[in-house]
Amino acid sequence: LELVFATNNAHKMEEVQAMVADLFVIKSLEDIGCQDDIPETGVTFEENAQQKTDYLVNKYGLYCFGDDSGLEVDALNLEPGVYSARYSGTRDMEKNIDLVLERLGKNENRKARFRTVISLYLNEQQHFFEGVIEGNIVAERRGAAGFGYDPIFIPDGYDKTFAEMSAEQKNAISHRSIAVAKLADFLKEKYAK
């Protein structure tokens, strides 16, 4: 089985590759010669994830999956949420993290979660898989691994931020790995040889 992963985010590609390497072959947008900036205008993770796959289905007729994800902070009314990639109005993650920390200030309620929704389009059918990990936002950045908001998020039950964990540690518990495990189970059950 070959599926195109509708992402321009190299970190997502790397994480998902490591999770499904022995299950199916992932093609990148580069592999299919797509350099487009796929529009993301939805107000839910589902809508945005499906926009990524709809785009490839409509333009190339390819079976594919897409990942829309973000950080939901309780004390910020679940922001940045679907706006995680451009919370400060730019894709500059330094600024995006600064804005979360600034808006949260000294608020004692640091509860937050990462959410991933994967859209899969296969055999003329649309499917969704979701992964969530609960945790807390720290006062200051910690760690240099991972990407995005990893330096300010500590998953429940741990004392390290995602950015202080190895890729293997993060991938063992992350929102993305939970969603990818559901995708993998589905593919194994339905399409195993």
The residues assigned a catalytic role are 68
Nearer to ligand ITT, 43 or 188 (CB): 43
Taking the complex as a whole, how short is the minimal distance between the CB of residue 189 and ligand ITT, in angstroms? 26
Give 65's strand partners: 5, 120
Which residue's Cβ lies closest to ligand ITT?
A: 148
Nearer to ligand ITT, 47 or 75 (CB): 47
Taking the complex as a whole, how short is the minimal distance between the CB of residue 82 and ligand ITT, in angstroms? 8
- The whole-angstrom distance between residue 155's C-alpha and the CA centroid of its chain comes to 15
Residues 67 and 15: beta-carbon distance below 8 Å: no
| Residue closest to 148 by CA, chosen among 60, 103, 188, 88 | 88
Cβ burial of 173 (10 Å; 0-12, 13-18, 19+) is middle
Site string for ligand ITT, 154-173 (x = CB under 6 A): --------x-----------
Query: Is 131 a binder of ligand ITT (CB under 6 A)?
Result: no
Region near ligand ITT per CB under 6 A, out of 17-25, 67-75, 125-133, 182-190: 67-75
CA angle 149, 154, 159 (to 5 degrees): 145
Q: How far apart are CA 30 and CA 7, in angstroms?
A: 10
Query: Is 28 a binder of ligand ITT (CB under 6 A)?
Result: no
**Contact residues: ligand ITT, CB under 6 A:** 7-9, 12, 40, 67-70, 84-85, 93, 114, 146-150, 162, 174, 176
